[in-house]
Amino acid sequence: MLQFPYGISDFYKIRTEGYCYIDRTACIRAVEAAGMHLIFLRPRRFGKSLWLSTLENYYDVAKTDEFELLFGDLAIGQNPTSRRNSYFVLRWDFSLVSPQGEVAEIGQALHKHINARIHDFAQTYQNWLQHPITIQPDNGIASFESLLAAVKGSPHHLYLLIDEYDNFANEVLMSQAREGSERYKALLYGEGLLKTVFKAVKGAGSGMGLDRAFTTGVAPVVLSDLSSGYNVVRDVTFEPELEMLCGFTEAEIEALLLQLGQAADSSALTTMRQFYNGYAFGEEPTTLVYNPTLAFYFLQHLAARGRPPRDLLDTNLAMDRGKIAYVAKLPASASVLASTLDEAHPPVLDALARSFGVADVLDQPKGVTFMVSLLYYFGVLTRDGYTEMAELRFRVPNMVVRSMYVEQLRKLALPPQDDQAATDAARALFHRGDLQPLCAFIESTYFRALDNRDYRWANELTVKMAFLTLLFNDRFYIVDSEPALERSYADLVLLVRPDLRKYALQDALLEFKYLPLSDLGLSGEAVKAMARQELAALPLVQTRLAEATRKAEEYRATLLAVYGATLRLHTYAIVALGFERLVWEKL
């Protein structure tokens, strides 16, 4: 049976214990050509640590005798570079250094981590080193300088690998505590500890034994603050040769499913495509990729139980909710979050922000460029080409990420005490195809919550957001806003997940129209006082209902042609009268 390396970032373990490995070693040649000091950014859980482990095993002089075992059948093993197995390798992982406590405590933890890795280095290479390495317990930088002196006296050079360089900044960013701000400034400003570490790395590359360094992170949050200390680093995040370094292509996913006995057009592939695919990296992305951690989470469950996991969002990725929650707390953020779910008017930028300093993160007003750029680096937005005016266009990559946005918008709109009532109203549609409880809840509760919210800036979109945030349920449905149906669009479609068709869950198609109260010539109080049948009889309401009905019938016919008798489809045309009342017809 296939073994999937879910949660495993140790290249040696994967290759020697028979785990599935998607070959990315061809990128090693491109990395060599890119330069001496490199930094590479990708979202969390996208395989960055595994890539560093791959480099470690490829360049490590101590692994020379195992090269064929580890790389012989891989792309780089068929055509290795001259630098293979020619370095001493030192690896730091700043995610293991706690950012909690006072500056002195953080500094002590950082020195302790650096010293522990240097101690391991000394043990690994003791047979190659002619001079001892002296470890200074309270000064990891001094220990590093001793390591460099020992390396310089040997025939080999040093390759330094740094993982999660921005761990400190991300922790401070999420906490937003003032004391966190002061700790961060102390670590980076002036002769702060973190800047001093990177100055030492820069100096080590000036004839002191360090030949190459490869650094990974999530976002360019500290790059501008590190610029004077580490201004030799080259950002290769958007290099086309490294576009596919992290993430899996659909062809690779199809091949794995075939090995599990799943047909290439199986429901498993459909589900994975909807929920895990869609990320685009590089300046001019050519191929969409799947999140590798989520893909292995799904495949491991499929291999063990013969069916997909019920919860498609792995709990290891759930902390990404915090990134969206951070943006949701910023002033004027609601319109940005809503635009992420609006296919007609998605977020656009003139250019992506390439670096953020502490002032940008903690002190300055946060504009659209900051928010959208940060969401992109965190992996909860991705690139979607360019507009006709050469602006960068962004979109939500897939359904798993969409669920996180919906969750935040729902929290913005509804207090916790209304959550169960909203769930019960949605359940009536899921179980019986009954829309009335949901419409009643939106009129009585959701629309009332809009009065004091900064996202009451749209019309039909606002109504659609209300239904989307209340109906989104990726445990049961592929819930899509404006899915393409023969080059036209339906406002909201709920299709039961393929693996859950055996249950009695109902499908739904909803088409919306919005009618301002000013067009009706009625006040909000007057509309509230009228019976729904009276409202439906108004000429303008009848016109909008007819328009919505015509579109809904077209989309319904397309869905039935594609899915046939498997659908239990309930179709509704809905007209919102301002933010006061809803009138609907079931087709």
Are 262 and 153 part of one and the same domain? no
Residues 490 and 556: their CA atoms lie apart, in Å, by 9
Residues 125 and 102: their CA atoms lie apart, in Å, by 35
pLDDT given for residue 452 in this prediction: 47
Note down the domain range covering 514. Answer: 414-587
Are 280 and 173 part of one and the same domain? no
Are 137 and 171 part of one and the same domain? yes
The CATH number of the domain holding residue 204 is 3.40.50.300
Phi, psi of 339 (to 5 degrees): -65, -25
Does 365 reside within a domain? no
Does 228 reside within a domain? yes
Are 238 and 254 part of one and the same domain? no
Closest Cα to residue 185, out of 263, 68, 106, 261?
106
Does 375 reside within a domain? no
What is the pLDDT averaged over residues 87-115?
Answer: 90
Residue 356 in contact with residue 370, Cβ under 8 Å? yes
Does 203 reside within a domain? yes
Among 196, 218, 242, identify where a domain stops: 242
- Model confidence at 489, in pLDDT bands (50, 70, 90)? low
At residue 216, the 3 state secondary structure works out as: strand
pTM of the model: 0.89
Which of the pair, 228 or 334, is modelled with greater confidence?
334
Are 39 and 110 part of one and the same domain? yes
- Model confidence at 330, in pLDDT bands (50, 70, 90)? confident
Does 35 reside within a domain? yes
Range of lowest pLDDT (29-38, 51-60, 326-335, 506-515): 326-335
| Partner residues linked to 232 by β-bridges | none
Are 585 and 524 part of one and the same domain? yes
At residue 483, the 3 state secondary structure works out as: coil
Are 475 and 436 part of one and the same domain? yes
- DSSP letters of 54-85? HHHHHHBGGGGGGHHHHHTTSHHHHS--TTTT
Are 50 and 182 part of one and the same domain? yes
Are 68 and 162 part of one and the same domain? yes
Among 196, 221, 242, identify where a domain stops: 242
- Model confidence at 454, in pLDDT bands (50, 70, 90)? very low
Residues 539 and 516: their CA atoms lie apart, in Å, by 14
Are 196 and 261 part of one and the same domain? no
Are 224 and 275 part of one and the same domain? no
How many domains is the chain built from? 3
Does 374 reside within a domain? no
Are 444 and 498 part of one and the same domain? yes
Among 316, 339, 364, identify where a domain stops: 316
First to last CA, the chain: 49
Which of the pair, 283 or 389, is modelled with greater confidence?
389
Does 39 reside within a domain? yes
Does 267 reside within a domain? yes
